[in-house]
Chain A
């Protein structure tokens, strides 16, 4: 707990004052003890998310994005600063936050429908009711007809949609996603992005996406927070002023290209810093 939390310092960056933020991330600081000494993973990051907003956090590998994700999800403690949901401080996993993980996370021993019904089962909902509700979310992610299948019978993209349906079934106020499409090919990724956009617009789902993919971030977001490489700080918050509803078709538009170029400019500096750092570390290890 070598942190310097000062809740009054920064009330959150950017955005208009039209609605009260539902998620406030205030001055988060997290460091890890490693063999090479202390590593600052997240260095005083603050932002907030308004109801219905889609915010992406983008940064090069090793910038502390996943650490931030785990802190917001309440899966990691020993950090400085404060995360609050609708004014309530997050201590441990919060009922209003639903998480979708980067890794393969479906339960292989449960069928699609039973996977999706899992959070409802945990909440003690009667069987008939929870299956009906789960079916709704299976339809929502476009997996109707696959209810009785097991994850091993599905493709990677379908399995990731099962995870998504499972988290949505818990009806979180805020959806947290950590590079949910990282393991998928580019086409599947774009099409799944469409699905996410459509769901987000249908449910008016407040969403926070952690990603290192520029196209994905610009395609989906209202705002993008660019993080620096080690220590992870806020480099810039960019508002994406592209018309909605969007689909993957906007990927070809001029405005889209403009945003990508602008954010890439910021990101490039950080990514190359990360690359140099990585190379020197490997080089050093080889010489030692």
Chain B
């Protein structure tokens, strides 16, 4: 008896792709097919929905067409100009993350540990949080000029809000006994923050940084599309205004990949 039941439950060969993967492939193939069909049909203007082949060509061109001389003193280094713009955007976002993240953390810790200040100010953060930060752009231009300064400022403002709100909430969810343990061992304020508060708030902080990164990218790019002569946002709006649609789509694809990469980087740091 036992033997027959054993032979009956002989292992079935595992499907070579899981149902989820298969569904994903189906969706992607469908989108590509529909896109190509629309492009070929000419229902919309050919230039508005260019063929994926054309977009692919533009993508290759952006990434490999060498057209910019990097000022290096001893020899000549030529790179595709796109990388210069990508570098500008990445460094703007990174700087904004540092300023906005640190400010958010410090203010969040202060509000989270001080009910009086939280009572006085936290509601303003909740009002300002969902406000589209782009309305501050004219002010930032006046304060920090038309260069990277105003873009960094936009990124900083954007990233500040999610970080400060999750940090303030994060402080309050710390188990109070851990703070009493710290006090009983007579930790000083600095040790309390670095050895108890911050590690205990890891999850909410990482969530805040994740959300902050997203809106910092949005804030910076949006600012670049409005008024600038450098950065990926500038390239995109430039491609748009010269009606170079394949190039614009190709730039969006690159941006998409960079955003996924940045998010993966934060995710990786959080699992350390």
Residues in chain A within 8 A of chain B (CB atoms): 73-75, 92-93, 95, 97-99, 101, 103-105, 107, 109-110, 118-119, 121-122, 170
Contacts and interface: CB of A to CB of B under 8 A. Distances in A.
Given A73-B184, A93-B184, A119-B185, A109 B200 contact: yes
Interface stretch (B62-70, B175-183, B204-212): B175-183
16 contacts: A74-B184, A75-B184, A92-B186, A93-B186, A99-B180, A101-B181, A104-B175, A105-B177, A105-B181, A107-B178, A109-B199, A118-B185, A122-B187, A122-B191, A122-B195, A170-B185
A245 to B, nearest CB: 29
Among B183, B184, B200: residue with most chain A CB under 10 A: B184
Contacts of A110: 199
A93 B181 CA distance: 10
Interface of B: 175, 177-178, 180-181, 183-187, 191, 195-196, 199-200, 202
Nearest to B180: A75
A98 B184 contact: yes
* Interface SS, B side: helix
Contacts, number: 46
B185 A101 contact: no
Contacts of B186: 92-93, 95, 122
B183 A105 contact: no
Contacts of A104: 175, 177
A99 B195 CA distance: 18
Contacts of B196: 107
Nearest to B185: A119
Nearest to B181: A105
A52 to B, nearest CB: 22
A184 to B, nearest CB: 16
B256 to A, nearest CB: 34
A73 B186 CA distance: 11
A-B pairs with lowest CB-CB distance, top 6: A99-B184, A103-B177, A109-B199, A119-B185, A105-B177, A93-B186
Nearest to A121: B195
B135 to A, nearest CB: 40
Most chain A Cβ neighbours within 10 Å, of B185, B195, B196, B199: B185
Contacts of B181: 99, 101, 105, 107
Nearest to B199: A109
A73 B200 CA distance: 23
